[in-house]
Amino acid sequence: MPLLDVRDLSVTFARRGQRTVHAVDGVSFSVDAGEVVGLVGESGCGKSVTSLALMGLLPRQRGVRVGGSADFDGTDLLKLDPRSMRDVRGRDIAMIFQDPLSSLNPVVPIGIQVTEVLVRHRGMSGDAARKEAAELLDRVGIPDPTRRLKEYPHQLSGGMRQRALIAMAVACRPRLLIADEPTTALDVTIQAQILELLKELVRDSGTALIMITHDLGVVAGMCDTINVLYAGRVVETARRKELFAGRRHPYTVGLLASIPRLDAGRGEKLTPIRGSVRDVLPWTEGCAFAPRCDRRTEACVGEPPAMTPTHTGHEFRCVNPFPLSQPEEARV
């Protein structure tokens, strides 16, 4: 049984006088204990909204509707009342956000921001909490942790801040960690360090990790299973090896082809995917990617494409997928 099983998750935002937005439109995926799962897609594909929905962090307003189920170790996260959800957050499921500077409270010392999780969920206090916080900072590779505890976010470097946020997230040894673009706001060299740190933490603690990113390079290095999202639905899901050996969905292929390559010839153009995420067909009327797809056929429009399973567990949502052997793409 998977640790987290998300079935038909949907999130809609309805505003008076405006068209209802289906930010997440029936996403299903699962995460096993200790597994690293990637959610990949362009901005606006629904990957961040998915994570916020799982955490119960979407704004509690009229017009925000969450549907489907998210079974976490026997309880449906989407049906938990706000109070029980507060107990789960930070203790069983923790999250790391994109921009480490804005994600830290500027007027509260790092130490308190770490210990408050320990106080809340592990019932620690005073010196014990401070000692544990220093150990946590040490574990995520922050030198001189006892001094850093007294410092404020603006006194830390970008990488250091992200390490501090990671320390807060792993403070209660959660069973599931959600990292939403954890390296996007960082320098490339720091990115590698942070990814390495996450990998290490996951390996040592057996925590499962959902890695949300637009960067297939990140996915390639870390994830066991990859889910590619488009317009609020999973369009392709596979184990890492299978996906990189043979991509089937034209969108996944396009995503990979659009990564700039150092070995490309001078003056050689980048290969973007045509159009933008805004050119979508509603899933009810066919494949949402059809308006941007080079392999579009008449069968793409009319009814929503279903997930096509294969015997290896590799699934894709496409009626005209790339054939299994793709010599020209194999080099990626």
Binding residues vs another protein (CB under 8 A)? 55, 57, 85-91, 94-95, 97, 99, 102-109, 112, 116-117, 120-121, 152, 154, 165, 168
CA distance 87 to 92: 8
* Inter-CA distances, 267 with 55, 261, 263, 264, 315, Å: 45, 12, 12, 9, 36
Distance CA 175, CA 203 (A): 12
CB of 267 to another protein, least distance (A): 40
91 vs 240 by CB, closer to another protein: 91
Shortest reach from residue 120's CB to another protein, in Å: 6
User: By C-beta, is 179 or 287 nearer to another protein?
Assistant: 179
Q: Give the nearest distance from C-beta 163 to another protein in angstroms.
A: 14
Closest to another protein by CB, 3 vs 96, is 96
Strand partners, 238: 226
Q: 303: part of which helix (H) or strand (E)?
A: none
**Rounded Cα gap, residues 216 and 229, in angstroms:** 12
Q: For another protein, which is the closer residue by CB, 115 or 227?
A: 115
> Taking the complex as a whole, how short is the minimal distance between the CB of residue 127 and another protein, in angstroms?
20
Nearer to another protein by Cβ, of 164 and 216: the residue is 164
Cβ proximity of 11 and 23 under 8 Å: yes
Is the CB of residue 254 less than 8 Å from the CB of residue 233?
Answer: no
CB 166 → another protein: shortest distance, Å? 12
Nearer CB in complex with another protein: 61/189: 61
Q: What is the distance between the alpha carbons of residues 244 and 199, in angstroms, rounded to a whole number?
A: 20
User: What does the DSSP assignment read for 91-128?
Assistant: TTEEEE-S-TTTTS-TTS-HHHHHHHHHHHHH---HHH
Closer to another protein by Cβ: residue 94 or 223: 94
What is the nearest approach in angstroms of another protein to the Cβ of residue 253? Answer: 34
Q: Are strands 225-230 and 233-239 parallel, antiparallel or unpaired?
A: antiparallel
CB of 30 to another protein, least distance (A): 22
CA separation for the pair 264, 260 (Å, rounded): 8
